[in-house]
């Protein structure tokens, strides 16, 4: 797996996806996990869950992101599903590290919220 590919996807998410910056750490984590999981399903040909309202929300955001990935990064359609899963897992880890783990926003885990 190429770090250049991860950099391309990470830069896209940082530039275009506001769901990574919800106001609480648990909310950020839920959105990052749900959208990346759903996008991974879409990229690997798996029909994602859409039973619950949150599943449908994740699907709506993931569908747009995946369409952009396919348009901007044509290499993503040529890689095997196992590599897509690994790539998306690494992308998720990087987003969590930046948006939650290393965030200096103290409101993310403030006790009164």
Q: What percent of the chain stands above pLDDT 90?
A: 69
- Per residue in 20-49, pLDDT (tens digit) is 666 777 788 899 999 999 999 999 999 999
Nearest Cα neighbor of 39 from 21, 7, 61 is 61
Residue 55 has pLDDT above 80, yes or no: yes
Q: Are 33 and 100 in contact (CB under 8 A)?
A: no
Specify the residue for token string 């996008």.
39
Torsion angles phi and psi, residue 49, rounded to 5: -65, 140
Q: What is the pLDDT of residues 56-88, one digit of tens each?
A: 999 999 999 999 999 999 999 999 999 999 999
Domain assignments of the chain as residue spans, ordered by start: 3-101
8 Å CB contact between 44 and 81: yes
Would you say residue 8 has pLDDT above 80? yes
């Amino acid at each position: 797996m190429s770090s250049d590919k991860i950099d391309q996807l990470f830069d896209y998410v940082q530039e275009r996806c506001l769901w990574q910056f919800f106001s609480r750490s648990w909310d950020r984590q839920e959105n990052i996990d749900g959208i990346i999981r759903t996008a991974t399903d879409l990229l690997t040909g798996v029909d994602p869950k859409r039973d619950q309202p949150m599943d449908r929300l994740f699907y709506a955001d993931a569908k747009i992101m995946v369409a952009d990935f396919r348009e901007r990064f044509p290499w993503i359609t040529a890689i095997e599903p196992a590599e897509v899963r690994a790539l998306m897992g690494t992308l998720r880890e990087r987003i969590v590290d930046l948006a939650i783990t290393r965030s200096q926003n103290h409101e993310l885990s403030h006790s009164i919220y």
